[in-house]
Amino acid sequence: MTLTCTARPAGAGVFALGEGPVWDPARDRLLWVDIDGHAVHEGRLDPGEGRITATGSWSFAAETGAVAVAATGELIVAERTTLTRVDLDGTRTELARVLPEGSRSRLNDGAVDPAGRFLVGSLDPREESGTEVLVRLGGDGLTTLDSDLTLSNGLAWSPAGDRLYSIDTIPGTVWVRDYDPATGDTSPRREAFTVTDGHPDGMCADADGNLWIAIWGRGRVERRTPEGRLLATVTVDAPHTSSVAFAGPALDTLVITTATTGLSGDDLARHPGSGRLFTARTGTAGLPPTYWNPVS
């Protein structure tokens, strides 16, 4: 038998395609993106109430697939085709072009590896190309890990940092590969398991090494072992659950992003919480977040 709990709305803000929550403990804030809203947002979490109060945002010219933060507060943002650094004074610098200019694909979910490198994948919103990428930005530039994905999505590492999990959403596959944080060397990927009910989207890991996966189209988050056994379900009153992260001083508040994108008027009437942030207390703690290292 799996455990079940229900998430609750955490704020009044509604986002077209909320994604990529990131906890920044040094500044006691939560970051997330609205991909279709072309923005990065920040807010304060009240762990006791599970409420998130928006405190600021950064606007961009096109889609913003993911955000991460350095220990000193600078941001790295996955814009449509490039990775951009945002300094504390607002200055923006292009760090790398990942996709060709004019590409039909765009950058999607991203995360920081245990050594501070930034990984990000791509998708084509119009077709399942089978040529989408997962790349890593480090001190030696861009490294391509995958180039045959249909829709690159959630990323997570084991507590020891020695295994990388990555999602290809359309086939529902959760991949795993051995990972050396010191060198960035990886083994060939292998299938960990497949999600067959709904589309696996964003993902994070907890302190026990289990995976928390947002299931797009099903209004839930699933906690699964690294082998895929279902341990718990968090229900969310928003069909398009998109991503998850553990936040708060004790890392015991699960933050869930959702979207309105792709929902009909009837869907939105039935699920008025769609597009809002949700939180849940699951009795589980997450892994300490890793900061982006701009020179890693």
* CA–CA separation, 44 and 197 (whole Å): 33
Give Dmax over CA atoms of the chain in angstroms.
Answer: 51
Q: Which amino acid is at 199?
A: H
Active site residue 267: no
C-alpha dihedral over 287, 232, 15, 261, to 10 degrees?
130
Answer yes or no: are the C-beta atoms of 193 and 254 closer than 8 Å.
Answer: no
Tell me the pairing of strands 3-6 and 230-235: parallel
Active-site choice (168, 201, 206, 237)? 201
Strands in 152-157's sheet, in edge-to-edge order, are 152-157, 163-168, 173-178, 190-194
Could you give the residue numbers annotated as active site? 201
